Structure 1
Amino acid sequence: MMRFTGLYCHPLCNSSPTSACRKKTVRMSVVTGRLRDPDINPCLLESDASTRCMDENNYERGRCSTHFLKYKNCRKFWNAIMIQRRRNGVKPSMPTAAERDIILGAMGKMPY
């Protein structure tokens, strides 16, 4: 689990360590941490590109449809790979980031 520890100071404390100032820990949820892990989420780049597109285009979904389609195709592709590996008894069923690079390199081009 990732943590960010910072010092939270009340505006009146003027950044001096008094009783009004205390340490505050902000934790990333387990699910969010897993989604940000490149070994678990094979479509992290596509997901980030979709989010960035939405931010840049003021959340107009129509302008980001190509990014959404790439993300959807990425998920379909890696889900099929995962199902195939599970049937063959390969553990882990989702290839690691290094294995995915090898798989994509062997294909010669991006399948999605």
Structure 2
Amino acid sequence: MNAKQMENESRLTALNYGYRDPVLFYKTSPFLLGAIFKVPPQTNIFMSRKLQRLRDHDINPCLVEADASSKCMDKNNYNRDACTLYFLRYKSCKKFWNGIVMQRRKDGIKPDMPTAEEREKILASIGRIPY
């Protein structure tokens, strides 16, 4: 296989696996030209794994509060004083769910963090959002 065939094959592979820009594929891996990367289509290659985990509803119970505080910062030209209530709500959300995680660890319940469905049931049993 010559270099041109390898380039065409890798471009097709990049497009088949959901890469938006095949040029990015070449720039990020010039030594693996022609290699086949098995990346699921739903995976966003532009976000780090840590950021993907933080954006997952099953892992981060305070995603809504985090997004609200970010939007507030954007809207108020990054004036922290204007978004204090959003920050306090996020902080109390993290504190509440951290307490749930600690209690579940004590009780030996796995996984430590309740799934999104379990969290909805917990909040429904309380009757309101406690934070």
TM-score (norm 1): 0.81
Distance in 2, Cα, partners of 1:88 & 1:81: 11
Is the partner of 2:112 in helix, strand or coil? coil
1:77 is aligned to 96
Task: Tell me whether 1:35 sits opposite 2:54 in the alignment.
Answer: yes
**Match 1:6 to one of 14, 20, 33:** 20
Aligned 8 A contact 1:54 1:64 in 2: yes
Task: Tell me whether 1:110 sits opposite 2:126 in the alignment.
Answer: no
Q: Shift of the alpha carbon at 1:30?
A: 0.7
Q: Shift of the alpha carbon at 1:27?
A: 2.9
Aligned 8 A contact 1:82 1:93 in 2: yes
1:59 is aligned to 78
The 4+ residue runs of structure 1 with deviation greater than 6 A are none
Per-residue CA distance 1:36-74 (angstroms, 9 max, x = gap): 000000000000000000000000001000000000000
Query: RMSD over aligned Cα, in angstroms?
Result: 1.4
CA gap of 1:106–1:61, structure 2 versus 1, over 3 A, is same
More RCO (CA 8 Å, sep 6+): 1
Unaligned stretches of 5+ residues in structure 2: 1-16, 26-44
Q: Which has the higher strand share?
A: 1
TM-score (norm 2): 0.69
1:46 is aligned to 65
Larger Rg: 2
Amino-acid identity (%): 53
Compare 24-33 and 60-69 and name the one that shifted more.
Answer: 24-33
Distance in 2, Cα, partners of 1:98 & 1:76: 19
Unaligned stretches of 5+ residues in structure 1: 8-21
